[in-house]
Structure 1
Amino acid sequence: MSKGLPPMPKIQELIRLYGLSAKQQLSQNFLLDLNITSKICKLAGGFKDCTVIEVGAGPGGLTRSILAAGAKKVIAVEMDPRFYPALKMLEEASEGRLSIVMANMMDVDEAQILSDYRAEKTAWPQQSKVKLIGNLPFNVGTHLMLKWLRQIQPQEGLYQFGRVPLYLMFQKELSDRIAAPIGTHDYTRLSVMVQQLYQPKIIYEVPRKVFVPAPKVDASVIALEPRIKPIGDVQSPEYFEYVCREIFTQKRKVLSNGIKILGPNAEKDLLEGINVNLRPQNVTIEDFVKIANRFTAWEGKKKNIDLLEFKNQGKSLRKDQKQEQEIVDLQNRMKKIKTKLREKEIEKQEKKKQKDLELAQALAEIDNEPDEMAQLVPKDKQKATQHMSTLLKQSQEDDQDEYDQLFDDEKVTQEEHYQHLLDKYQDQIDYVKESQLERAHQKEIIKQNRAIIDTTLINNNNNNSKKNNNKNSDTDNDFDQLLLDENIDYEALLNDIDNIDINDIKKNY
Structure 2
Amino acid sequence: MKGLFVSTIDGLPPLREVIKAHDLVAKKQLGQNFLLDLNLTAKIARLAGDLSACDVLEVGPGPGGLTRGLLVEGARRVLAVEKDPRCVPALEEIGAVYPGRLQVINADAMEVDVLGHLNAPVRVVANLPYNVGTELLIRWLTPKIWPPFWQSLTLMFQKEVAERIVAKPRSDHYGRLALLVGWRCDAKIVMHLPPEAFTPAPKVHSAVVHLTRLEAPRFAADETVLNRITTMAFGQRRKMLRSSLKGMGPAIEAQLEAAGIPPTARAEEIELERFCALARIVAAG
TM-score (norm 1): 0.52
1:282 aligns with 2:269: yes
Identity %: 39
Distance 1:109 1:297, change over 3 A: farther
The corresponding residue for 2:145 is: 154
Which residue among 259, 273, 278 is the counterpart of 2:245? 259
Alignment of 1:109-508 (within 5 A): 109-114=113-118, 119-120=119-120, 129-151=121-143, 154-155=145-146, 159-160=148-149, 164-235=151-222, 237-274=223-260, 275-298=262-285
* Distance in 2, Cα, partners of 1:150 & 1:273: 25
The 3-state SS of whatever aligns with 1:107 is coil
Task: Measure the CA separation in 2 of the matches of 1:172 and 1:4.
Answer: 31
Letter matched to residue 260 of structure 1: K
Aligned partners of 2:111 and 2:163: how far apart in 1? Answer: 27
Is 1:9 the counterpart of 2:19 in the alignment? no
Post-superposition shift, 1:150?
0.5
SS class of match (2:126): strand
Q: Give 1:130 deviation, angstroms.
A: 1.7
Question: How far has the Cα of 1:220 moved from its partner?
Answer: 0.3
- Which structure shows the bigger proportion of residues in helix conformation? 1
| Contact 1:202/1:223 (8 A) holds in 2 | yes
> In the superposition, relative to structure 1, how do residues 94 and 187 fare at CA in structure 2: closer, same or farther (>3 Å)?
same
How far off its partner does 1:265 sit? 4.3
Structure 1 distance, partners of 2:209, 2:11, is 29
Gap change, CA 1:104 and 1:10, over 3 Å in 2 = closer
State the Cα distance separating 1:215 from its structure 2 match. Answer: 0.6
Other-structure match for 1:431: none
RMSD: 2.1
Deviations 1:370-401 (A, max 9, x none): xxxxxxxxxxxxxxxxxxxxxxxxxxxxxxxx
What amino acid is aligned across from residue 200 of structure 1 in structure 2? Answer: A
CA positional deviation for 1:86: 0.2
Quick check: 2:122–2:151 contact (8 Å CA) kept in 1?
yes
Deviation readout 1:2-54 (Å, 9 max, x if unpaired): 9983323341x334321211111111101111011111122222422321111
Provide the secondary structure at the position in 1 that maps to 2:56.
strand
Measured after TM superposition, the shift of residue 249 of structure 1 is 1.4
Residues in 2 aligned to 1:8 and 1:293: alpha-carbon distance in whole angstroms: 57
Count of residues in correspondence between the two structures: 279
What CA distance in whole angstroms lies between the structure 2 residues aligned with 1:131 and 1:60? Answer: 17
For 2:29 and 2:7, locate their aligned partners in 1 and report how far apart those are by CA, in whole Å: 35
Cα deviation digits, residues 248-273 of structure 1 (max 9, x gap): 11211222222214344432345424
CA shift in 2, pair 1:3/1:220, >3 Å: closer
CA contact (8 A) 1:166 1:223 kept: yes
2:125 aligned counterpart, secondary structure: strand
Q: CA deviation at 1:101?
A: 1.3
* Aligned-partner residue type, residue 191 of structure 1: A
Q: Deviations over 1:354-378 (max 9, x none)?
A: xxxxxxxxxxxxxxxxxxxxxxxxx
Which among 8, 22, 27 is matched to residue 23 of structure 1?
A: 27
SS of residue in 2 equivalent to 1:200: strand
AA aligned opposite 2:139 = K
Amino acid at match of 2:199: V
CA contact (8 A) 1:270 1:295 kept: no
Greater RCO structure (CA 8 Å; 6+ sep): 2
More strand by share: 2
- Evaluate the alpha carbon distance shift between residue 99 and residue 240 of structure 1 in structure 2; reply closer, same or farther with a 3 A threshold: same
Query: After superposition, what is the alpha-carbon deviation per residue over 1:312-357, rounded to whole angstroms, capped at 9, x for unaligned?
Result: xxxxxxxxxxxxxxxxxxxxxxxxxxxxxxxxxxxxxxxxxxxxxx
CA contact (8 A) 1:6 1:90 kept: no
Gapped runs of 5+ residues in structure 1?
A: 121-128, 299-509
Hey, what's the Cα distance between the residues in 1 that align with 2:86 and 2:248?
47
Q: Return the letter of the residue paired with 1:33.
A: D
Residue by residue, what CA displacement relative to the aligned partner does 1:72-105 show, whole Å, maximum 9, x if unpaired?
A: 1111111110101100111111121111111111
- Residue 3 of structure 2 aligns with which residue? none
Summarize the Cα distance change of 1:84–1:273 in structure 2 as closer, same or farther, 3 Å threshold.
Answer: closer
Letter in 2 for 1:138: Y
